[in-house]
A and B are shown apart, each in its own frame.
Chain A
Amino acid sequence: MASLYIHVPFCVRKCGYCDFYSGVAGDADIERYIAALDREFALRAPTGLAPETIFIGGGTPTRLSAPQLGALGAILKRYVDLRACTEFTCEINPGTLTPQKADALVAMGVNRASFGVQSFEPKYLQGLDRAHEAGVAPRALEIARAAGISRLNMDLMFAMPGQTLAEFESDIRQALNLGTQHISMYALTFEDDTPLTRQLKQGTIAEAPPELEEAMFQLAGRVAGEAGLARYEVSNFARPGAECAHNLVYWTCGDWHGFGAGAHGMTGGVVTRNVADFAAYERCLSEGNVPHVPDAPMAPAERAETLLLMGLRLTRGVELQRFRQFTGVDFHVACGEPAGRLIELGLLELTPAHVRATPRGMLVLDSVILELAMALGYSV
């Protein structure tokens, strides 16, 4: 059954590196947003929607008050059959979680929490303009656990300006010591039009040297691996069985529905992209219109490209059978030439059922994907 993603585009404050559609809003805006979400579900939720996984992301979902979270829960109860749902994740900014909010989440059905910790070092949190302070992360985890949410993820960030390898290792160990089963570790990306990128351009901060970033990428795999959390995706590490089932839907190009301003969905090879601007989103729905223009269904070559660019991020790779199902041709036929070269270079490997990036290939995955994509001949 298709999964479900719900977007909450509000933040306590905007982080310096973030280019997601989100904004700082007051309570009145939030209430109007919840009402609009309600309308979107009423308008376009498939009948009998019974997702196996749900993910509430943002923004900062926990920017909502406990009663507002309750209202969101009520919408879900009306339109969604939660009986088949085995994993229900909510993103949490550690500084915004209260016991009341945690209870509201549990009442909604949430059984997995993803904490945007980023770092335990105060100076880096400040550098990223994060809203929370360093000490609050352990306390937030406690609150979640006390409310009954046992499946936890922590997001860490590396290659921040000035960060040393030792500081990053200390961040990983602190996260592991807090007993998490899942860690996401992202290299800081300088997105266009963010305060951080402007600082970079002005020269007030400097990017981490490429060799250091690479060393950190390797360090993440080693330290997490030693603690029993294996890399299963470029930036994601988990104990066996604790992988994020919802995100695996994205990486295997499964079906999911996206609700909320700026939310994307993909079902049967058709992408939906809701309008990101909150006011436009609200206006669409108040006029009784779906808040997106549906994309044209993807051609087989485009689906194949999408499958490769998502699936090769997983260490287990892309199922060859799924590639055939999406495109009607064998991977060997479609991409044999570049794949052969990449295999020879030790960047790609074939198993009986999968094609996957080697650890070295994972490090340069974007170039590997580009080589394969050229062979597919798909272009907009």
Chain B
Amino acid sequence: MSELPLSKMRNFCIIAHIDHGKSTLADRLLSMSYAVDKRKMVEQTMDSMDLERERGITIKAKAIALPMNLNGEEYLFNLIDTPGHVDFGYEVSRAMNACEGALLLVDATQGIQAQTVANMYLAIGADLEVVPVANKVDMVAADFDRTCGELEAAFGTKAADVVQVSGKTGLGVDKLVEEIVKRIPPPEGDITKPLRALIFDAVYDDYRGVVVYVRVRDGALRAGDRIFMIGTRSEYDVLEVGVVRMGLHKQPELKCGEVGYVICGIKTVQDVGVGDTIALAKHKNEIMPLPGYKKPQPMVYAGVYPTNAAEFDQLRKGLQKITLSDSSITYTPEQSDALGSGFRCGFLGLLHMEIFQERVERELGLDLVQSAPNVTYEIKKHDGSIERIEKAGDLPDPTVYDEILEPMVKLSVITPTEYIGNVMALSLERRGLYLNQEHLGKDRVLLSFKMPLAEVIFDYFDKLKSGTRGYATMDYEPVGFEAADLVKVRIMIAGDEVDALAMIVHRQFAEQRGRNLLKKLKEEIPKHLFVINLQAAIGGKVIASEKIGSMGKNVLAKCYGGDITRKKKLLEKQKKGKKRMKMIGGVEVPQGAFLSILKVGNEPGE
């Protein structure tokens, strides 16, 4: 395949909302490619992790080489898979940088969704040639005209340019292949220049170590080369290069314009920077890196603790294992008064955190307690220096800093027009700043807001779904930090301050959130032999308080000689349960209480 000229090559990705049929279309292209032995083709080849398949999300981008025959001429398609969620926006943008084009896939029964829009803007930003595709046109519920109308309203797409397909039946896919060849430009590159290759993904493999996915921009990358990764400043010997079809296919070299993999003895994906540039080691001092590389910064943090303190070591080993294949998770040991020894883990976003939780439970079999997630704050100190605050408990006294900044996002919501009022009310109530409204056809609208990320992670999505009968979709992208009037709400249980329950909240909502959190705690903490006082305070000022009354009748009715064994077994169970509780100020606090923070909104009576 290497002998094909660049003019016969097409590098592209598919951008789509979850369940709009990306995997099905990829399979269809794969089965059309004569390279594929149909008997060996497993369903949805691009999604290798069970987890991803279940969630309908492709977490890790990969590239598949698809030899195509069109009108007797040979072409090579490199289909680059991108994650469909903006938590992975940086990875998506790197994968797009490996392409010249993108298929914008829209389910014609659903119309465009918030995610579609966000990814479309990324594609435009990456200067890709976009081919709009309406999928599932064979279905009765499909409305092609309406989909075209929305595409035109949102992106100025002409209806004549929209390709109609059904990934499921194969309808229109021949035509799509033609359009890909016709519209997406072939890659360019100068084979005579020194090597520069963009790393757009890295996947850990138990047998091969880290498999690095690259797009060669200039020159060529050969097995045996001594290479240098500019961003991470590390050198390796290339053991193997090749392309992925059904598995890895070794080649002598990858030339400029080509997409493929490199294996060079890297042990963990932590050592590879997505977006980094590979050069030859001999050029390390003169070559300019490709633009856009940065180390992804976690947006959301949460404390992760083993339920059983004895499993701390297993958790540490487990985190090591998970970060082998997911370099964007950070973790540092942390000690909580309430939860004991654990780790503070950083995630790219909420979805990323959920995927992590599921992987931990599935792959490690550990029972975990997780504290409520929070965003990262920054404080500007008197000397002008900036300090990152990763949990509320760490926020120092306000006299120590000039201002506190919080991460902001641009939030896009697509909703049927009848729910505009609800979406506006919810978003403004969450300190959202209304930015823009775009009509997509006659009955749907794209609303955008600037909003603190902290407000988005506070069950915004659940509230949005319930306020729009499930019709709205949302997406967000980070847009930097902004100063805000934020205060730390401290929580006291029976007079003892609980670090794990502290929250950083806008002053305007502090009292209501404090009150709501105490109400939740009252539900979570069982009655004791004594009355328990709960308090929320800003600094030394108590802003809310609650009482948990003492327990009512609790005594076994019958206990005779034959009941002793049974009663002792029961007592043993109670003792174990008691040991699992966290003792705070003589109060046993169940694990669930630490997640209460997430469930309290700004509204009274929640």
Q: Which residues of A contact B (CB under 8 A)?
A: 5, 7, 186-189, 210-211, 213-214, 217, 234-235, 247, 249-250, 256, 258, 262-266, 271, 273, 302, 305-306, 309-310, 313, 341-342, 345, 347, 362-371, 373-374, 379-380
Contact yes or no, A366 B578, CB < 8 A: no
Residue from the list A187, A266, A362 in contact with B557, Cβ < 8 A: A187
A370-B575, A374-B575, A379-B575 known; A189+B561 contact, CB < 8 A: no
Contact yes or no, A214 B552, CB < 8 A: yes
**C-alpha spacing A50/B553, complex, angstroms:** 40
A273-B565, A309-B568 known; A363+B554 contact, CB < 8 A: yes
Closest to A376 in B: B575
**Residues of the A chain whose Cβ atoms lie less than 8 Å from the Cβ of B572:** 379-380
**Residues of the A chain whose Cβ atoms lie less than 8 Å from the Cβ of B553:** 187, 210, 213-214, 217, 363-364
A366-B555, A369-B571 known; A347+B561 contact, CB < 8 A: no
Chain B residues 555-576 with CB under 8 Å of chain A are: 555-562, 564-565, 567-568, 571-572, 574-575
A364-B529, A370-B575 known; A256+B552 contact, CB < 8 A: no
Residue from the list B529, B562, B567, B586 in contact with A367, Cβ < 8 A: B529
Can you list 5 contacts pairing A with B, beta carbon distance less than 8 Å?
A187-B557, A247-B560, A266-B561, A306-B568, A365-B554
B530 on the interface (CB 8 Å rule)?
yes
Interface string of B350-367 (1 = CB under 8 A from A): 000000000000000000
Contact yes or no, A371 B529, CB < 8 A: yes
Residue from the list A302, A313, A367 in contact with B551, Cβ < 8 A: A367
**Residues of the B chain whose Cβ atoms lie less than 8 Å from the Cβ of A265:** 561
**Residues of the B chain whose Cβ atoms lie less than 8 Å from the Cβ of A5:** 561-562
Contact yes or no, A364 B551, CB < 8 A: yes
Contact yes or no, A345 B529, CB < 8 A: yes
Closest to A263 in B: B562
**Residues of the A chain whose Cβ atoms lie less than 8 Å from the Cβ of B586:** 341
**C-alpha spacing A235/B562, complex, angstroms:** 16
Nearest 3 A/B pairs, CB to CB: A186-B557, A365-B555, A250-B561
Given contact pairs A7-B562, A373-B571, a sample of 12 additional A-B residue pairs in the complex whose CB atoms are under 8 Å apart: A188-B557, A247-B560, A250-B559, A264-B565, A273-B565, A363-B552, A366-B554, A366-B556, A366-B574, A367-B551, A371-B529, A379-B572
A369-B571, A370-B574 known; A258+B561 contact, CB < 8 A: yes
Q: What's the minimum C-beta distance from B447 to chain A, rounded to whole angstroms?
A: 45
Q: What's the minimum C-beta distance from A308 to chain B, rounded to whole angstroms?
A: 10
**Residues of the A chain whose Cβ atoms lie less than 8 Å from the Cβ of B562:** 5, 7, 258, 262-264
**Residues of the A chain whose Cβ atoms lie less than 8 Å from the Cβ of B554:** 363-367
**C-alpha spacing A305/B564, complex, angstroms:** 11
**Residues of the B chain whose Cβ atoms lie less than 8 Å from the Cβ of A365:** 554-556
**C-alpha spacing A366/B557, complex, angstroms:** 10
**Residues of the A chain whose Cβ atoms lie less than 8 Å from the Cβ of B565:** 264, 271, 273
**C-alpha spacing A213/B327, complex, angstroms:** 58
**Residues of the B chain whose Cβ atoms lie less than 8 Å from the Cβ of A262:** 562
Residue from the list B530, B559, B568 in contact with A305, Cβ < 8 A: B568
Residue from the list B551, B555, B561, B567 in contact with A362, Cβ < 8 A: B555
Q: What's the minimum C-beta distance from A361 to chain B, rounded to whole angstroms?
A: 9
A367-B551, A374-B575, A379-B575 known; A306+B556 contact, CB < 8 A: no
Contact yes or no, B555 A364, CB < 8 A: yes
**C-alpha spacing A341/B565, complex, angstroms:** 28
**Residues of the B chain whose Cβ atoms lie less than 8 Å from the Cβ of A306:** 564, 568
Central interface residue in A7, A364, A369, by most chain B CB within 10 Å: A364
